[in-house]
Structure 1
Amino acid sequence: MRVPQIHGCDAFRVAMPRGRRPESILIRLAGADGAVGWGEVSVPAAPNGRSGGGRGGAGGRGPDDGPGRAWTDIEERMGPALIGLQLDRPEDASAAVDLGCRDAAAAIDTACWDLWCRGRGMPLAHALGGTRTSIVTGARLSPEPLLETVAGRVNRAVGAGHTRITLDVRPGWDIEPVRAIRQAFPALAIVADAGHAYTESPEHLAALEGLDAYGLVALERPFAAADLSAHARLQRRVGTAIAPDVGDLDTLDAALGEEAGRALHLRPERFGGLTAARGAHDLAFAAGWAVWCTGTGAFGIGQAAAVAVASLPGCTLPSDVSDPAGGPVFVTPPVRSTGGVVGVPLTQPGLGHEVDEARIERLATRRMRLSV
């Protein structure tokens, strides 16, 4: 079987008109045999509106991260390192991926997997080791201080077929909204995302322990991300699975070692792409942790990649992998939930979706092209 060789790397920096969706960087890799692979990452604005330009590895976001930092890494380091590369395995791009920040790495790594799979006629989900044919979906509610509005949003999510919701909680706004949702929807899977807002003060611990009575499937990010010991102490006190904020394999390994939780919220772009995300899944699954996956990006490519990750056997909780309905569609078929289910594309190679390249090129505010 022919080994794919990368002959071209295009990058597009794209923002939706009127700011309806976050800005994304899209990567298109072209193989010598004509196969094309796509990757996407949504990129946050740098602090104080600056576009970062600092150096650093793929291990995490620093103070200079942002669209400019990711773009520079792709244009000056990662893209040139890919040209001419032979991909015996998708992981062969790891040396190039390590040259950039995690945002850039995620887009490049996903594009390498897609290119490799399309060249071999293999669905991405199968290449990663996925076993599911469909993904049960959840929904995340935006922060809302009014119980009546929360109840309405939960009702709409349940009506759309979602079987899990994630609710933001904070000190003073935690037990009451969770109790109301549980009373209205006894069978609904609920994740409470605390957003690092709690400490180990007696008042905060009492509230976190109080949430344990409402059958949550996970309590996410209760404490500061670096304080795994606090997460471990809380996990010993509650039956709810704690989900610490984990975005790299070293942190996950430390969390497993400290028994700092029993659930992993897996975001492939935070781990720097599909290779590391699969590794995180494997570690968590082997430890008996529950896993759910979230896809990000405005153009459907990131969501399609997340569907493949969510098909892995350890992703037992409903995942946030569907692109919101409404607005323009950039991949065909759209990554949409029907009755709370997203199908895993198993009859087409790679991501399993065709990308509207012409529309992306029209919307691009910046473009880079490298070739042999």
Structure 2
Amino acid sequence: MKLTGVELRRVRMPLAAPFRTSFGTTQVREALLLRAVTADAEGWGECVALSDPLYSSEYVDGCADVLRRFLVPALTGRRDGLDAPAVAPALSAFRGHPMAKAALETAVLDAELRERGVPLARELGAVRDRVPCGVSVGIMDSVPRLLDAVAGYLDEGYVRVKLKIEPGWDIAPVRAVRERFGDDLLLQVDANTAYTRADARHLAGLDPFGLLLIEQPLPEDDLLGHAELARRLRTPVCLDESITSARAAADAIALGAAGVVNIKPGRVGGYLEARRVHDVCVAHGVPVWCGGMLETGVGRAANVALAALPGCTLPGDTSASDRYYRDDITAPFTLDAGHLPVPTGPGIGVDPLPDALEAVTVRTEWLPA
């Protein structure tokens, strides 16, 4: 397969409601979509970097720049053919930028699978045709408002609730949710690196609430701190930002720092590396689940395929389209008894709707071979 060129498309999509975490509040999603074109097919990928370098060092403008100047030319300048497994080695000379690399690899993989007529789920090794869906609930200005939001999501059918937490917004909201909705609710929390080792005793205050896990309580580079925290808490410690590759996952597991792993393909450089992270965790008996980054329908389709792998035994953040967007750029993903169907079409199995895509497009740029 030989690339004819790659289109970079910047889109701007208002969220259905502001989404607040410990690192900031997002009201509008500015995303970068990639369309890889070959002689026989085209494929789509979504870059999950946010507008500002708050969640990670990557951000939308920076990803567009590195794709334009380095990553896309490294692929379109090849004289030989190209398949998706060759993308990561071809880009390995450029340090970092996993979200930009993941978007490019996904677009190439989508094009390749469409040409072959193979769904992404089958290529990755999925074993389910539908996946259970959890919902991530942001930090709010009051506990009553939080309880109303959780009640609404449960009425919609979500089977698991994740609460974003930070110092000053942790034990009280968790207690309130548990008391209101009972012990049968699958409940977990996500700190997005907001705590330090000195907070271990305070975080142990979450143990009585029977949480599925506490996600990424400490900074991403503090594996030893997470291992120490895991020994002090009854609540399983789940790593997110710390898991940047299959090797990082293996190291975290060996240190006892990760009882659960959240896989985000953009964070690890793509869906092929995400599958390797999954396989490492399965080999060590560590449950995994698929995280989310406010994806449009393009990224959501690929995430649902990943969430259908056998080791994904916990509900992920693969929420329905209307959790984040009033109007998605693909046919919307809609909950059915708390589940989403795994796309069965070739590649990621969905296409952007031309009118919907054009309505949110800010600019496009064509990078020819």
- The TM-score bracket by the shorter chain reads 0.7 to 0.9
Partner of 1:36: 42
Partner of 2:321: 324
Given residue 313 of structure 1, which amino acid in structure 2 is its aligned partner?
P
**Distance in 1 separating the partners of 2:49 and 2:193:** 21
CA contact (8 A) 1:300 1:323 kept: no
**Distance in 2 separating the partners of 1:169 and 1:299:** 24
Closer, same or farther: CA 225–180 of 1 in aligned 2, 3 Å:
same
Post-superposition offset of 1:327: 2.3
Asked if 1:45 is matched to 2:51, the reply is: yes
Asked if 1:75 is matched to 2:68, the reply is: yes
Tell me the TM-score normalised to structure 2 length.
0.87
Post-superposition offset of 1:16: 2.9
Deviates more, 1:84-93 or 1:299-308: 84-93
In structure 1, the residue corresponding to 2:364 is in which secondary structure? strand
**Distance in 2 separating the partners of 1:363 and 1:142:** 24
**Distance in 2 separating the partners of 1:175 and 1:240:** 13
- CA displacement, residues 126-168 of structure 1 (integer Å, 9 cap, x when unaligned): 1011111111000011102422122111111111111111112
Match of 1:263 among 260, 277, 289: 260
Match of 2:292 among 295, 310, 313: 295
**Distance in 1 separating the partners of 2:356 and 2:164:** 35
CA contact (8 A) 1:15 1:24 kept: yes
Closer, same or farther: CA 61–199 of 1 in aligned 2, 3 Å:
closer
CA contact (8 A) 1:40 1:297 kept: no
Given residue 140 of structure 1, which amino acid in structure 2 is its aligned partner?
S
Closer, same or farther: CA 61–153 of 1 in aligned 2, 3 Å:
closer
Asked if 1:92 is matched to 2:86, the reply is: yes
**Distance in 2 separating the partners of 1:20 and 1:92:** 37
CA contact (8 A) 1:246 1:264 kept: no
In structure 2, the residue corresponding to 1:115 is in which secondary structure? helix
Asked if 1:154 is matched to 2:140, the reply is: no
Match of 1:226 among 221, 237, 240: 221
Closer, same or farther: CA 110–87 of 1 in aligned 2, 3 Å:
farther
CA contact (8 A) 2:192 2:217 kept: yes
**Distance in 1 separating the partners of 2:6 and 2:43:** 10
Closer, same or farther: CA 42–186 of 1 in aligned 2, 3 Å:
same
**Distance in 2 separating the partners of 1:362 and 1:234:** 47
Equivalences, count? 351
Asked if 1:207 is matched to 2:202, the reply is: yes
CA contact (8 A) 1:195 1:221 kept: yes
CA contact (8 A) 2:260 2:286 kept: yes
Structure 1: unaligned runs, 5 residues or longer = 49-59
Closer, same or farther: CA 71–310 of 1 in aligned 2, 3 Å:
same
Match of 1:26 among 33, 43, 49: 33
* Superposition CA RMSD, Å: 2.4
**Distance in 1 separating the partners of 2:192 and 2:53:** 19
Post-superposition offset of 1:96: 3.9
Structure 2: unaligned runs, 5 residues or longer = 16-25
Deviates more, 1:139-148 or 1:82-91: 82-91
Partner of 2:18: none
**Distance in 1 separating the partners of 2:14 and 2:244:** 33
CA contact (8 A) 1:123 1:345 kept: yes
- CA displacement, residues 184-230 of structure 1 (integer Å, 9 cap, x when unaligned): 232111111123233333xx323322212221111112222222112
**Distance in 1 separating the partners of 2:129 and 2:60:** 34
Closer, same or farther: CA 88–255 of 1 in aligned 2, 3 Å:
same
Tell me the TM-score normalised to structure 1 length.
0.86
CA contact (8 A) 1:296 1:303 kept: no
CA contact (8 A) 2:14 2:29 kept: no
Closer, same or farther: CA 173–80 of 1 in aligned 2, 3 Å:
closer
Given residue 187 of structure 1, which amino acid in structure 2 is its aligned partner?
D
